[in-house]
Amino acid sequence: MTLEQIFATRAARLKASEIRELLKLLDQPDILSFAGGIPDPSLFPAEAFAQAFSEALTPSRQAQALQYSVSEGYLPLRRWLVVHMGTIGVPCTTDNILITSGSQQALDYFGKLFLSPGDTALVGWPTYLGALAAFNAYEPVYDRLTIGTNRAPADYMAAAKATGGRVKFAYLSADFANPTGETVDHAGRERLLDQAETMDCAVIEDAAYQALRYDGAPVPPILALEIARKGTIEACRTIYCGSFSKTLSPGLRVGWVVAPQPVIRQLVLLKQAADLHSSSINQIAIHTVAERLFDSHVAELRSVYQRRRDAMLDALARHMPDGVTWTRPEGGMFVWLTLPEGHDGAALLARSLETVKVAFVPGRAFFADGSGANSLRLSFSCASEPMIEEGMKRLGVLLREGQLAS
């Protein structure tokens, strides 16, 4: 007997992340990588963090920084988040906020809290593959979240019943989504709330990229729209999931959840069972840096990333052959390419790495049903403008030469 023989059935649903594997390419100097959806490390506020950690470890504060803490999270950070959420239209209290070890931990908790085997999770087609990885262990059925169509809530509910469960939540990143870069407009967010009311399900709003808007008018968070309808967060079904990973530091693994208090109380119990609490010193450092420079630092990120986005869109327009289309994001880190039907992004990647040394993420990994082979994700966040120009030129040459597998 091997231990693999006694793994739980859910283990069969766990899959390696294609992006995690592709990130290894960043260490290869000859590869032009547009694969990792990660912030540019040269833009980290490193000096501010060095000062924050130094202050946290002074004799008067080091006991708190190095000790166990409450599961809900560092209270001054939660107070800062109350003010921050208020600026984007989400009035709440510290009792509505839980600090998590990155927003990825929150996604795992949502799967654990809401999904019984056979229940339905509504997700985008494509959607963030980390969400699929988090939800997979809880054995859901996936159905396609289609906000802009005439598909009726009753159809979702009937499909969920037919597979032995019910619709538990709709998951989406409404602003500059990973992987497409697309944004759900105001009307679409209102329609989603209407659908969720009819289906009596939760809405999980993944706002990892919300602060990174480069142009266009900001759209209120879904949670803000629902509070405007109902008057209080306590009457809402939307759960907001935020993160400092794309703005201040991904390595410190600090995210947060904003939700009605009954939901927060249940999430706290899950956190107590999982890791007791997120790193005390990391929360203290994040709070110090956020309090001192969050707005100015995010403004700098927007300026840099906007130039890179513009460079990628311009380069794509010059170098892509006919039949290739792409999104035009108003923010975030990603552009989504769609190849002509019959082409395969994974085969293109293999050929690209071998010949032109350009890396990207094949699109199939972002689809719950394994479709979307003729698509790929490009990230511009860590690429200089000359690198973007050269990379898109190389990729365009490869596509024009027809070196694709059908």
In three state form, how does the secondary structure of 210-254 look? CCCECCCCCCCCHHHHHHHHHCCHHHCCEEEEEECCCCCCCCCCC
How far apart, in whole angstroms, are the C-alpha atoms of residue 195 and residue 122?
11
> Which residue, chain included where needed, has tokens 């410190």?
252
Contact yes or no for 230/33 (Cβ under 8 A)? no
Q: List, in sequence order, the alpha helices (H) in 320-405.
A: 345-355, 385-400
Residue 217, number of CB atoms within 10 A of its CB: 8
- By the 8 A CB rule, do 329 and 182 touch? yes
Mean pLDDT, consecutive 10-residue segments, the chain of 406 residues? 83 71 69 92 98 97 97 98 98 98 97 97 97 95 90 95 97 98 97 97 98 97 98 98 98 98 98 97 98 98 98 98 97 97 91 93 94 97 97 96 55
Class of domain 7-44+295-404: alpha beta
Distances (CA, A) of 90 to 244, 249, 264, 266, 317: 17, 23, 16, 21, 39
Q: Which pLDDT belongs to residue 7?
A: 86
For 384, counting Cβ atoms within 10 Å of its Cβ (0-12 exposed, 13-18 middle, 19+ buried), the class is middle
pLDDT at 14: 77
Q: Where are the domains of the chain?
A: 7-44+295-404, 46-293
Class of the 46-293 domain? alpha beta
Residue 257 to residue 324: CA distance in whole angstroms: 38
Quote the pTM value.
Answer: 0.95
337: left (phi over 0), alpha (psi -120 to 50) or beta: beta
Beta carbons of 357 and 33 less than 8 angstroms apart = no
Q: Looking at residue 37, what is its pLDDT?
A: 87
Amino acid identity for residue 20 in this structure: R
Predicted pLDDT at 22: 63
pLDDT at 405: 43
